[in-house]
A and B are shown apart, each in its own frame.
Chain A
C-alpha cells in the first residue's frame, strides 16, 4: 500500500461516512421515515339525540356531586345514553396548567362516578392541551391526574399518541379533519368543559372543547381557515353525545387562559351541544352583567353556525330549560 492511494481511500471513506450521516439527517428532517398518509374515514354521529325540543338542565348549588347527578337525571339519565358494553370518551378541558382555566377535578370525578354506575365497557379520559402546554403536566398540576387515576380510569395524553386519522366532515370549510384515532374509536363522546370566555371563539363550552381531540397542526389550521366555522364543522362529526358544563367557577371578561373568576355555582347538562352552549353562554354573559345575555349568546358565531349545520337547536323557544337547586 503506498501512502498516496491509501490516503485517497481514507478521504473517500471519511466522505462516504459523512455523506451517509448527511443523507440520513436530511431524510429525517424531510420526514422520509414517518408513516404515509392514511385513508379518509367516515364517522356517523348518533341521530337519536337530535331532538326537536332539546332539554337543558341547569342545576345550582354547592354540592358538586349532587348537582352533577341531578343535572344528568333531569335530561333523562345516563342509562338512556350509556349502554353496558359501550366505549366512553370523556373529554375534559385541561388545556392549561392553571387550575382556574381547566375543568375542576371535583366535577370530573362526579361525572366519572355517574358514568361508572351505568357499567360501560371502557371509560377513557383524554385531552390534547393548547399548543405550547404539556398535557401530562397539565393533568398533574391541576389535580386531574390524581382524581382520574384514583378512580381507576385510563387517562390519556393524546399528544403522546401518534395514531392520527382523517375523518370526513359535512361542514362548509373543513372537507376532512385530522383527529387522534382514540377519539374516533369511542362509541360515546362526553364533553366536560369549564364555562369560560374565549378571545377568539367568544365562549368556550362543549363544542369548542372538542378541539382537544385534534393534533397540533390541525388546531393551528382552524385559525388559518376560520375558527368559528371550523368549530361547527368539527362538531358535524365529533358532536358530543352528552355535555356537562362546569360552571362552578366561571371565567368571565377574558379567556381562555386568564380572566376574571366569578362564582357561578351551577352545573349544566344536555344531549344537544348547541342548545347547551346557548344556555351556558347566556348564563356566562348574565354573570358578566351583560344587559342582553340571550341575544349576545345567540350572536356567538360558532353556536349560530352549528345550528345552521343541523348539529342542534339554537331556537330559545324550542329549548326546554330545567332549572333546579340542590341545597
Chain B
C-alpha cells in the first residue's frame, strides 16, 4: 500500500523528466514547459485541424517522449500548415479550439513554426536532376531562392509552413521541418486574448 501511494509521485516525476524529442508545435503555442503543463492532450486541436481537409496536426506518439504523448505536433508529411499564406490565415481553427490556453491567438505575420533543414545529399537538384519543387511551392518571398538550379534556403525568412517538405519528391525527403527559430508565446508577456 505504501509502495502504491508512492508510485504516482515517484513514477510520474521520473517519467516527466525523461528526455523528449523536439517537435514543431502548432501556431500560437506557449513556451514548451508551460505548453506541456497546459495541454490536456485532448486532441481537439488535431480534430479542428483535420476539419480543414487533411490536417497537418497529429498527436505525438510515445517515441516523441513519454511527456509528449498526445500533445499536438506539426507533421508536414501529412499536409502543410495553412496558418500562414493558406486556408487558415487569420482564422487558426487549432488555436480557437484550444480550451486551456496552451495555444493562444497569434497574428499571421508573427507566425513562425520553425524552419526547414536541408540535406544536400538527398536533394534531386544536387544529385543532377531537374527539381526545384521546394522553391516552386514556397509561399514566402525570398525564403528559397534557386541558384544555378539548386535551392538556397534562408531560414530567417522561413515561416515553417512545411509546404516544401510536403512537396519534396525525393525519397527519403531532402527536407525536414525543425523547430529551430520558432516563435512562441512567452509566459507572462503575452496575455490570453481571444
A interface residue numbers (CB < 8 A to B):
97, 130-134, 136-137, 198-200, 219-224, 226-228, 256-258
Number of interface residues of B (CB under 8 A): 28
Q: Does the CB pair B86–A257 fall under 8 Å? A: no
Query: Given A131-B137, A134-B53, A224-B169, do A200 and B87 touch, yes or no (CB 8 Å)?
Result: no
Residue of B162, B167, B169 with most partner-chain A CB within 10 A: B169
List 6 other contacts, CB 8 Å, given A131-B167, A136-B53.
A131-B166, A132-B166, A200-B136, A221-B169, A227-B131, A258-B141
How far apart are B163's CB and chain A's nearest CB, in angstroms? 4
A-B contact pairs, 25 of them (CB 8 A): A97-B86, A130-B137, A130-B167, A131-B137, A131-B167, A132-B80, A132-B137, A132-B162, A132-B164, A132-B167, A133-B86, A133-B137, A137-B87, A199-B132, A200-B136, A220-B133, A221-B169, A222-B169, A223-B130, A223-B131, A224-B124, A224-B131, A228-B130, A256-B136, A257-B139
Chain B residues in 8 Å Cβ range of A132 = 80, 137, 162-164, 166-167
Give the docked Cα–Cα distance between A261 and B133 (Å).
21
> Nearest Cβ distance between residue B127 and chain A, in whole angstroms?
10
Is B129 interfacial (CB-CB < 8 Å)? yes
How distant is the Cα of A253 from the Cα of B168 in the complex, in angstroms?
Answer: 23
Enumerate B138-165 residues with CB–CB distance to A below 8 Å: 138-139, 141, 146, 162-164
The 8 Å CB contact of B167, one of A220, A224, A256, is A220
Residues of B within 8 A of A256 (CB): 136
Q: Are B137 and A223 in contact (CB under 8 A)?
A: no
- B130 engages A134 (CB within 8 Å): no
User: How far is the CB of A98 from the nearest CB of chain B, in Å?
Assistant: 8
The residue on A at minimum CB distance from B76 is: A132
**Distance, CA A132 to CA B81, complexed state (A):** 9
Residues of chain B within 8 A of A258, CB atoms compared? 141
What's the Cα separation between A97 and B89 when bound, in Å?
A: 12
Known: A130-B167, A221-B169, A224-B129. A199 touches B137 (CB 8 A): no
Task: Tell which of B80, B85, B124, B166 touches A223, judged by Cβ atoms closer than 8 Å.
Answer: B124
Q: How far is the CB of B122 from chain A (nearest CB, A)?
A: 12
Q: Determine whether the beta carbon of B86 is less than 8 Å from that of A200.
A: no
Which of chain A's residues have a CB closer than 8 A to the CB of B133? Answer: 131, 200, 220, 223
Which residues of chain A are near B129, meaning CB under 8 Å?
Answer: 223-224, 226
Q: Is the CB of A257 within 8 A of B138?
A: yes
A257 to B137, CA, bound (A): 7
A134 and B82 contact, CB distance less than 8 A? yes
Residue B170, interface by CB 8 Å: yes
By a CB distance below 8 angstroms, the chain B residues around A220 are: 133, 167-169
Minimal beta-carbon separation of A199 from chain B (angstroms): 4
**3 shortest interchain CB distances as A-B pairs:** A220-B169, A132-B163, A131-B167
Neighbouring B residues of A226 by C-beta, 8 Å? 129-130
Q: Are the C-beta atoms of A223 and B163 separated by less than 8 Å?
A: no
Nearest CB on B from A25, distance (A): 11
A130 / chain B contacts, CB cutoff of 8 Å: 136-137, 167
Are B131 and A134 interface neighbours, CB within 8 A?
Answer: no
CA distance A97 to B138 in the complex (A): 12
Asked if B136 contacts A199 (CB within 8 A), the reply is yes
In the assembled complex, how far is the CB of residue A152 from the closest CB belonging to chain B, in whole angstroms?
Answer: 26
A136, A221, A222, A257: which contacts B136 (Cβ < 8 A)? A257
Nearest chain B CB to A17 CB, angstrom units: 18
Residues of chain A within 8 A (CB-CB) of B168 are: 220
Q: Mark B85-97, 1 if CB is under 8 A from A, else 0.
A: 1110000000000
With CB as the reference atom, state the residue of chain B lying closest to A130: B137
Q: How far is the CA of A257 from the CA of B139 in the complex (A)?
A: 7
How far is A199 from B163 in the complex, measured between Cα atoms in Å? 17
**CA distance in complex: A226, B169 (Å):** 12
Is A134 a contact of B87 with CB atoms below 8 Å? yes
User: In the complex, what residues of A have CB within 8 A of residue B138's CB?
Assistant: 257
Q: How far is the CB of A143 from chain B (nearest CB, A)?
A: 16
State in angstroms the CA–CA spacing of A218 and B49 once bound together.
26
B135 contacts partner chain A, Cβ-Cβ < 8 Å: yes
Residues of chain A within 8 A (CB-CB) of B169 are: 219-224
Taking the nearest CB of chain A, how far is it from the CB of B8, in angstroms? 21
A97, B167: Cα distance in complex, Å: 16
The CA of A198 and the CA of B131, in the complex, are separated in Å by 11
Which residues on the B side are within 8 Å of A227 (C-beta)? 130-131
* Cα distance, A90 to B135, chains bound together (Å): 27
- Chain A residues near B137: list those with CB within 8 A: 130-133, 257
Q: Considering the chains assembled together, what is the distance between the CA atoms of A198 and B130 in angstroms?
A: 12
Q: A222 to chain B: which residues have CB within 8 Å?
A: 169
B 99-145 contacts with A by CB, 8 A = 124, 129-133, 135-139, 141
